[in-house]
Structure 1
Amino acid sequence: MVEIALQLDEKQHGAFTANEGDEQIGEMVVSIKNDELTVYHTEVAPKAEGKGVAKSLLDTMVKYARENALKVIPLCPYVHLQFRRHESDYADLWKK
């Protein structure tokens, strides 16, 4: 089972990480400043591709942003593409 957790340093830089057991199989690199969450990069290990790990990371990030009243700046190509494809799902979060 994949577990996703947010890890931030003292400067609010970090990542949502996807772990399967003791192994990290994906991450979404983010930073938070004021009321904005910037997503820089999403990566999934080759052995975990096609298993919905990136979507799980996206869903967890979106939930976190909504719970904390953050606007999302999707610099990551994957997140930006999902926001464009499903604009109505993310309109409340997307800082264009």
Structure 2
Amino acid sequence: MIEIKQINSDKKGAFEIYSDGKKAGEMTYTWAGDDKFIIDHTEVDEAYNGQGLAKQLVYAGVDYARKNGKKVIPLCPYAKVTIARNAELQDVLA
């Protein structure tokens, strides 16, 4: 079972992904003002490669942005490419 948890503070945050209760990866972000955040890193443990977990993290970040009226600046190369390749994600770009 896959579960994504969000950790958020005033300046930084992360989306962590768990597979069967074990942390498999995370996507970190930094707040850029009150209305946007910068995705700065996405990483999945090698044992979970090829399962689409990193993509799920990007989608979780985009979903959070939509639900909360925020914009996203994807500086992380993986997040940048994922958003660029999926037109349905581009509405949250800052």
TM-score by length of 2: 0.89
Give identity over the alignment, percent. Answer: 37
Tell me which stretches of 4 or more aligned residues in structure 1 moved more than 2 Å: none
Cα deviation for residue 54 of structure 1 reads 0.7
How much is the aligned-residue C-alpha RMSD, in angstroms?
Answer: 1.3
TM-score by length of 1: 0.88
Closer, same or farther: CA 51–68 of 1 in aligned 2, 3 Å: same
Gaps of 5+ in 1: none
- Residues matched between the structures, number: 93
Deviations 1:62-95 (A, max 9, x none): 1100001111000000010112222x32332112
Gaps of 5+ in 2: none
Partner in structure 1 of residue 70 of structure 2: 70
Q: Does 1:3 align with 2:3?
A: yes
Partner in structure 2 of residue 51 of structure 1: 51
CA contact (8 A) 2:15 2:61 kept: yes
Q: How does 1:1-96 map to 2 (within 5 A)?
A: 1-9=1-9, 11-32=10-31, 33-86=33-86, 88-95=87-94
